[in-house]
Structure 1
């Protein structure tokens, strides 16, 4: 160990340089020939690279992303449940009104029956009580009858 790092001798390291080795071109199997209808052959495009090389190939249309379907802010199920609740409330309101109508109609009919009974009963009472003072009817006089040993003596 050196006591002073300033007096430490520099370490020499060897520098290794690696050069890329080119791979030999592999002979590829010929591509299958696909019959193409005339008129459907795409146009050939050539591009000149900055180093002067020319790349030739068919122009390929860029892939179009699938259209994104816009989802509604509220799901259809939630809308259906809400509409069902509104319909149920409307039906309940109608049933309450119908029940109230039936109760009112029942009370009205009951009052009509009571009124008819009072009027008819009053008419009967007038007929009964006015007949007792009326002298135009048949008068039957009942005498004392004596019944002896199952014989009527009149």
Structure 2
């Protein structure tokens, strides 16, 4: 279709020399005067004529102010978190101590109530079992003539 472009030979490539382009030094001109800006309103457009004759038009800008450095607190946040954790732990331990004291007191109360019930019920039971049931206060024994023959009792 299309003929291929001719490739340079080795001799042609050896002849090719590249010369660097010299950079012209920049002549620093004195700074152009800036238009003073009143704070609180938009400044007017200013035009400055440079010494080489070019005209630059734009707004006058205030120099950039560096951001204020935020002062670090005298105590690090990690130390504050550790301290608050310790206070919370102490509060929980105090609550657990009160809880265990309450459980021990409740256990002692229940034990005393069981002992009191056993004493009252035991006394009532003893009166019912060992008490008199219509007897006059003595033991009645019927005595008969007993016959014992050859290690046998005949009554």
Cα distance in 2 for partners of 1:94, 1:105 equals 16
Q: How does 1:31-42 map to 2 (within 5 A)?
A: none
SS in 1 for 2:131: helix
Structure 1 regions of 5+ residues with no counterpart? 1-25, 30-41, 47-55
Give TM-score scaled by structure 2 length: 0.50
Instruction: Report how far residue 79 of structure 1 moved.
Output: 0.9
Please name the residue that 2:90 is paired with. Answer: 89
C-alpha displacement of 1:27: 4.1
- The answer for the alignment partner of 1:102 in structure 2 is 103
Length, aligned pairs only: 105
The CA deviation at 1:134 is: 2.8
For the pair 1:43 / 2:43, whether they are aligned, the reply is no
- Shift in Å, 1:72: 1.6
* CA deviation map 1:37-86 (0-9, x unaligned): xxxxx73468xxxxxxxxx9885532311221222221111111110000
Q: 2-side partners of 1:44 and 1:68: how far apart?
A: 36
Q: Deviations over 1:5-41 (max 9, x none)?
A: xxxxxxxxxxxxxxxxxxxxx8458xxxxxxxxxxxx
Matches within 5 A, 1:9-28: 27-28=24-25
Secondary structure at the counterpart of residue 43 of structure 1: strand
| 1:123 has 2:124 as partner | yes
Alignment-derived partner of residue 135 in structure 1: 135
Q: How many angstroms does 1:130 deviate by? A: 1.1
Structure 2 partner of 1:11: none
Report which structure shows greater RCO (CA 8 Å, sep ≥6). Answer: 2
Q: Which consecutive residues of structure 2, in runs of 5 or more, have no partner in the other structure?
A: 1-22, 27-44, 50-54
